[in-house]
Structure 1
Amino acid sequence: MTDNTAPALELISFCIGEQEFCIDVKTVREIRGWTPATPIPHAPNYMRGVINLRGAIMPVIDLRNRLGLGVTIPETRHVIVVVECRDRLAGILVDAVSETFTVPRDSLQPAPDVGVEELRYIQAIISMENRLITYLRMDDVFPAQVSEAA
């Protein structure tokens, strides 16, 4: 859970194509290289499958696909960001991790309402150093049934 009383947020950013996204650094457990996932029958198309993380079976989500930006063709340069969401571990497949940074909470701007359902994944937009970074709401990226699929 995020601490809404803190004056600043510590975030970690990553890239999907030319776009930059970020999540709360407190949700990140580790960053690991791409590992092929074992597909799960009848899983949603954005779920790459599951991997074995030190004895625990963990779902891996293709974040590009989940956000409606296409399908990732994983290569060795891709990484899995292991996050804890709803008291479960899950991985998000991204192109690359960029940096960790801190922003004042009052610099978060709401996403524009354009009537697109995928915007529910967006917690805020951050304007920083001539770039826009999309702050993702991980609870919506990982719905409860996806976490339970593993």
Structure 2
Amino acid sequence: MEQLDTLSGHSSVASAGGQYLTFALGEEEYGVEILKVQEIKGYPVITPIPNTPPHVKGVMNLRGTIIPVVDLRMRLGMAEAQSTRCTVIVVVKVGSKTVGLVMDSVSDVLDIPKADIQATPDFGAAVDTGFISGMAKAGDRVIVLLDIDTVLRGEVFGVLSGRGPDE
């Protein structure tokens, strides 16, 4: 991966292009590197864990392994949504950790060339864009590419294990 300087002066990781799983959160379309995705599951029974942030929905049993489940909408500061028949859990690998992410729906796997990925625009100091690895053009749409390692770093793993994603 290479570093791109954003207009605000900080750098954000931008992919050299590749395949992305695209998905919806509300009316917006997002993407995550397909290599981070292990599988996509229907919305399972989730066991809540007390004293966790609202976006940590609890844990689920993934073929005998208990993994944390994070509501990606809430983690990104969006309002919680009721699950529908389209709601899925996308199981991702971050460092040595496996996490389930609640998403409104999965759209497609897109092959996005490097030329179609741009740096995140400068929204000013009040807006944290460190979790965005780039903005992809796909026809007339713009897909926000998430750096899932950054999205899940810190409080999510701290709450669940007291450590970071690679520990």
Q: TM-score, normalised by structure 2?
A: 0.80
- Structure-2 change in CA distance of 1:70 and 1:116 (3 Å): farther
Matched, 1:67 2:72: no
Q: Which amino acid aligns with 2:20?
A: L
Q: Any unmatched runs of 5+ in structure 2?
A: 3-14, 162-167
Describe the SS at the equivalent of 1:52: strand
Residue 145 of structure 1 deviates from its aligned partner by: 4.9
Q: 2:116–2:138: 8 Å Cα contact kept in structure 1?
A: no
2:147 counterpart of 1:140 = no
CA deviation profile, 1:93-133 (whole Å, cap 9, x unmatched): 00111101111123211112223454221110111110010
Q: Percent identity?
A: 33
Q: Give the CA RMSD over aligned residues.
A: 1.8
Matched, 1:14 2:23: yes
Distance 2:122 2:70 in 1: 25
2:111 aligned partner: 102
2:98 corresponds to: 89
Alignment match of 2:47 (pick from 25, 38, 50): 38
Contact 2:58/2:69, CA 8 A, preserved across alignment: yes
Partner secondary structure for residue 119 of structure 1:
coil
Gaps of 5+ in 1: none
Give the secondary-structure state (helix, strand or coil) at the position aligned to 1:112. coil
SS of aligned partner of 1:120? coil
Provide the residue aligned with 1:125 in structure 2.
Answer: 135
- For 1:123, the aligned partner's letter is S
Q: Counterpart amino acid of 2:38? A: R
